[in-house]
A and B are shown apart, each in its own frame.
Chain A
Amino acid sequence: METRKSTFERPVINRVNAGLPDKFGMHSKLRSMPEIDSIPVESLIGLYGSPLFVLSEKTIRETMSDAKRAFTTRYPKVQFAWSYKTNYLDAVCRVFHQEGSWAEVVSGFEYEKAVANGVEGQFILFNGPGKTTEDIDRAITQGSMIHLDHFDELFLVMGCAERLGKRAKVALRINMDTGIYPRWDRFGFNYENGEAWQAVNKILPDSRLELVGLHTHIGTYILSTNAYAVATTKLAELTVRIQRKFNHTIKYIDLGGGFASRNTLKGAYLPGTDTCPSFDNYAEAITASLVNSEIQHDKMPMLILETGRALIDDAGCLLGTVLANKRLVDGRLSMILDIGVNMLFTSFWYEHAVVPSKETSDYTENTTIYGPLCMNIDVIRDAVQFPVLERGDHVVVNRVGAYNMTQWLQFITYRPNVVMIGMKGDVDVIRKAENYSSLSMHEHIPDHLIHFRL
């Protein structure tokens, strides 16, 4: 009688470290991720290729409604404005606009995108230090809110408004000390040194400008909710001073973006899922500061939020394929994926949660995950306990919805397909993969360089 053979498992030997366990006390098993919104990863890759960005409309809407609930249950006038630079794929922007978000843009290109998406000028907030004269003319003509960054821009807007014979709606971008580091003082007018007050005194007597709002964006991935309380209090104080001196009511206070997402920052001691404040935490800090301020009850401003990464990070995954495993000279394992830093720009800041798409063995090895680019910087994860996958196996990189589909680089490879899984489980390609002709379209070869012989 023949005995049945055992199932084979890759041989593993791990050094027992005499010292401490790892920083979480143990190696927890990586949970695999076989499907996204009930659609198998294997079939998504089968249909749309690898690598593949996948966005979940359901997750976007759920995250958005969580954020809205947190703020609107605490403050009567709340308005979100979608930060285009975080993810300006039209389908994504339109989900946010359907959810009631205005548009927050920082360039002529983003402004054009918002208009093409059907957002009326009066619902566009125009930020950024680099607005051109044409940008400003268009924003004034269409009645958008121009968030002033510096005095040169202030004078430029005055000139444009005069030439167009139309009053410009402006807000002041203000930078300040909120007790956190780094302090972003390169954008806007400083609060503490009186620069912001000086700008107020320049704008308010000027008939060409209407000061509608006060804005700040204190930084990004801010874990301190107290920093928001400080920022809100300072903007509220300025609002009160403006009312007192000019009898002018500020229509809105805009706290910008900056809420952390649940990604883990490089070098962080604890995972982002443990440290990230909830929307309720941020909302409590901001709205309490507004409600407790000295702003008159009947003059409470609208609260605008330009939240970016915290609203979209969780909704995006990047699927990829293992190309090879390789043993490094020091014995560490390296795994090469078809996902490079060219499309996963955020791997420069985050220790992204990479997981296998299928159940794997319990044994993990200290693994370095590389991308396919022939560049030393192409590292997705420096050192992660990972099960050994085979060539052709698939992985899922979680929480990539923010900043990747805008900051990705066309470098060495084409950018891949982006699909969105709709509310009913339907899958749409919302940005087609690039190919040779989509890129060569922009190039021109001078006549004398057409021919050569080797």
Chain B
Amino acid sequence: MQSTYIYFIPGAMKLQKNIAISESGFVFNPGSGESFILNRTGKNILELLRDNKMFEEIIELMMGEYEVDRIVLEKSILDFISVLKSYGLLEKEPASAN
């Protein structure tokens, strides 16, 4: 199944090193000292990112697990990733990586 929208696929989607994710969905960033709380889907995605899964892989894995429209899933994962970025939980992309 192909997505009908063409999205910018975020290049670097690596979780910062040392980020701790607890069973109950708590996240601790030792680098900043900040804590976060996740819902179940959020925890799923964060764990997949920690395991270095690529965007397409994450989509496929999540499609297998959840009853969800692909476009809705893609949109919400992209949005989620931008939130992770703004919280400083992802590794910085190398500047002008061309």
Contact = CB atoms under 8 A, between A and B. Distances in A.
Interface of A is mostly: loop
Given A5-B67, A6-B66, A331-B87, A12 B79 contact: no
Nearest to A391: B75
A374 interface: no
B36 A6 contact: no
Contacts of A16: 26, 34-37
Interface size classification for chain B: 20 to 34
Interface string A356-387: 00000101000000000000000000000000
Contacts of B67: 5-8
A328 to B, nearest CB: 9
A453 interface: no
Interface size classification for chain A: 20 to 34
Interface string A1-31: 0000111111111111010000000000000
Interface string B28-44: 00000011111111101
A331 B66 CA distance: 26
A346 B88 CA distance: 37
B82 interface: yes
B37 A7 contact: no
A12 B39 contact: yes
Contact of A9 (B35, B41, B77, B79): B41
B83 interface: yes
Contacts of A7: 66-67
A325 interface: yes
B2 interface: no
Contacts of B82: 327, 331
A12 B35 CA distance: 14
Contacts of A390: 72
A331 B42 contact: no
A333 B77 CA distance: 14
Nearest to B27: A13
B45 interface: yes
A330 interface: yes
A9 B39 contact: yes
A331 B82 CA distance: 7
A143 B84 CA distance: 70
B38 A13 contact: yes
A15 B83 CA distance: 11
Contacts of A363: 39
Closest 4 CB pairs of A and B: A331-B86, A8-B68, A11-B42, A8-B66
23 contacts: A7-B67, A8-B66, A8-B67, A8-B72, A8-B73, A9-B41, A10-B76, A10-B80, A11-B38, A11-B45, A12-B39, A12-B42, A12-B80, A13-B36, A13-B38, A13-B87, A15-B36, A16-B26, A16-B35, A327-B83, A327-B86, A331-B83, A390-B72
